[in-house]
Amino acid sequence: MNIFNSDIDNTLIYSYKHEIGSNKKCVELYQGREISFMTQYSYERLHKICEKELFVPTTTRTIEQYKRIDFGIDEPDYALVCNGGILLKKGLIDDAWYHKSLDMISNAQSELKKAIEILKMDSNINFEIRNINQLFLFTKSKSPKETLAGLNEKLNLNKVETFTNGLKVYVMPKNLNKGNAVLRLKEKLKAKRIIAAGDSEFDISMLRVADIAFAPELLKKQMQAKTNTNIVPEGILFSDAVLKHILEL
């Protein structure tokens, strides 16, 4: 069995704010609004890939956010959400997987609590501080670099790490990453080969453990030591390039 672990946002689908041309298909609605799209080219090729590989969406999205997406295929047999902390089997939570995730990050819980108190005192925070399924923290800041600097100064970075994505701010346990989740699922399913695609810092751990990886030019430096990484040059839509290459494997 081969598994195709793929990030979702900016890897397979794009916000309405992102120009991907007119030949596109809406794959996500929110409060009646069309907010995310795939190119028709990627949409059709993903369907073909699902005929030959086990497609496992692998995302930092919450369960609710993930379930808004409609790829036009049957419910995937497996999906990794909440940065791999939760495994969905045909859309239902695998309780054993979730409790194992909680065990894996138990040493980081005190740091997450400390981070909440730090964020509460940060005047840059302009959004609620969310503890996502007791797995990681999420909020937004009007000055995310300042917020991260404050967190990094006071937290034990051997136990947690911090990320920004635009104005979004995350505090993640070190053990809660896509790479660990991909390896756990590979072992669970006795998979032969992992193909992975992702576009951001959240995806680096997953790309590094994959047998074949696809990353954009933006991550070239982080992935340069990994010889089986395919770097998609700037100016080429990432989703189209990745899915085209996978079908040619």
Same-domain status, 169 and 181: no
Q: Which residues, at least 6 apart from 24, have a Cβ–Cβ distance to it below 8 Å? A: 37, 38, 39, 40
Confidence of residue 226 (pLDDT cuts 50, 70, 90): confident
**Residue 22's pLDDT is what?**
96
Domain boundary, last residue among 173, 195, 220: 173
Same domain, 47 and 152: no
Mean pLDDT over 141-147 rounds to: 98
In a domain, residue 220? The reply is yes
Domain that holds residue 181: 2-85+176-248
Is residue 63 domain-shared with residue 11, that is, in the same domain? yes
Residues 54-76: tens digit of each pLDDT: 999 999 999 999 999 999 999 99
pLDDT digits (tens, 9 = 90+) for 23-59: 999 999 999 999 999 999 999 999 999 999 999 999 9
User: What does pTM read for this prediction?
Assistant: 0.97
Both 211 and 237 in a single domain?
yes
Residue 182 to residue 184: CA distance in whole angstroms? 5
Q: Is the pLDDT of residue 105 over 80?
A: yes
DSSP state at residue 60: S
Same domain? For 81 and 201 the reply is yes
Q: State the DSSP H helix or E strand holding residue 72, giving kind and residue range, or none if neither.
A: none
Q: What is the pLDDT of residues 12-22, one digit of tens each?
A: 999 999 999 99
Q: Are residues 151 and 29 in the same domain?
A: no
- Mean pLDDT (the chain, rounded): 97
Give counts: helices (H), strands (E), the chain: 9, 15
